[in-house]
Amino acid sequence: MRRCNAFVSRWKGRLLHSAIHVISHLRLLLRWVIFSVVTGGIVGLIGVVFVYAIQWVTSFRIGHPWILLTLPLGGLLIVWLYRITRDQNDRGTNMVLASLRSEAELPVQMAPLIFVSTIVTHLCGGSAGREGAALQLGGSMGSVLSRLFRLNERDKRVLILCGMAAAFSAIFRTPIAAPIFAMEVVCVGAMHYAALVPCTIASLTASWLAGKLGIPLAKFAVDDVPSFQVIPALKILLLGILCAVISILFCILLHQTEKQLHKRIPNPYLRILAASGMLWLLILLVRNQDYLGIGTDVIGRAMGGAAVWYAFFAKMIFTAVTLGGGFKGGEIVPSFFIGATFGCLFGQILNISPSFCAAVGMVGLFCGVTNCPLASLMIAVELFGAAGAPYYLLAIAVSYLLSGYYGLYGEQTFLSSKFTGAPVNHKTRKL
Query: pLDDT band for position 261 (50/70/90)?
Result: very high
Is residue 200 within 8 A of residue 168, CB to CB? The reply is no
Give 280-334 pLDDT, tens digit per residue: 999 999 988 899 988 889 999 999 989 999 999 999 999 999 999 989 988 889 9
Range of 369's domain? Answer: 230-427
Give the model confidence (pLDDT) of 366-402 as tens digits: 999 999 999 999 999 999 999 999 999 999 999 999 9
398 falls within a domain? yes
Task: Judge whether 265 lies within some domain.
Answer: yes
Q: Within a domain: residue 9?
A: no
423, 281: one domain: yes
340 inside domain: yes
CA–CA dist 412, 426 (Å, integer): 9
Same domain, 246 and 372: yes
C-alpha 62: how far from chain center: 25
Q: How far is CA 214 from CA 51, 170, 171, 207, 374, in A?
A: 10, 11, 12, 11, 28
Residues 352, 419 within the same domain: yes
pLDDT at 407: 87
* Residue 70 forms part of a structural domain: yes
**0.75 cut: is pTM over it?**
yes
Q: Are the C-beta atoms of 319 and 128 separated by less than 8 Å?
A: yes
What is the total count of domains within the chain? Answer: 2
- Pair (251, 185) in one structural domain: no
Segment among 102-106, 175-179, 260-264, 299-303 with least mean pLDDT = 102-106
* Separation between Cα atoms, residue 231 and residue 233, nearest integer Å: 5
Same domain, 175 and 273: no
Same domain as 238, residue 202:
no
One domain, residues 184 and 295: no
Kindly give, in sequence order, each residue whose CB lies less than 8 Å from that of residue 308, ignoring residues fewer than 6 positions away.
341
Q: Which domain CATH number covers 323?
A: 1.10.3080.10
Choose one of 179, 212, 245: the last residue of a domain: 212
Q: What is the pLDDT of residue 269?
A: 94
Mean pLDDT calculated for residue range 248-273? 94
Dihedral of alpha carbons 220, 337, 243, 374, sign:
negative
Residue 217: pLDDT over 70: yes
Same domain, 289 and 325: yes
> Per-residue b/e over 238-275, b at no fewer than 16 CB within 10 Å?
ebbbbbbebbbbbbebbbebbeebeeebeebeebbbbb
Q: Tell whether 168 and 291 lie within a shared domain.
A: no
Domain-embedded: residue 221: no
Identify whether residues 45 and 173 lie together within a single domain.
Answer: yes
Q: CA–CA separation, 245 vs 406, rounded Å?
A: 10
Q: Say yes or no to pLDDT of 265 above 80.
A: yes
Q: What stretches of 124-255 adopt beta strand conformation (E)?
A: 187-188
β-bridge pairing 413-416 and 423-427 = antiparallel
Residue 283 included in any domain: yes
Bigger pLDDT: 218 vs 14: 218
Helix axes 110-124, 71-84, angle to 10 degrees: 170
Q: Choose the final residue of a domain: 146, 178, 212.
A: 212
Helical residues (DSSP H) of 88-148, grouped into ranges = 93-99, 110-124, 131-148
In a shared domain, residues 59 and 189 = yes
Q: Which of 148, 183, 212 is the last residue of a domain?
A: 212
Examine the domain organization and report whether 208 and 352 are in the same domain.
no
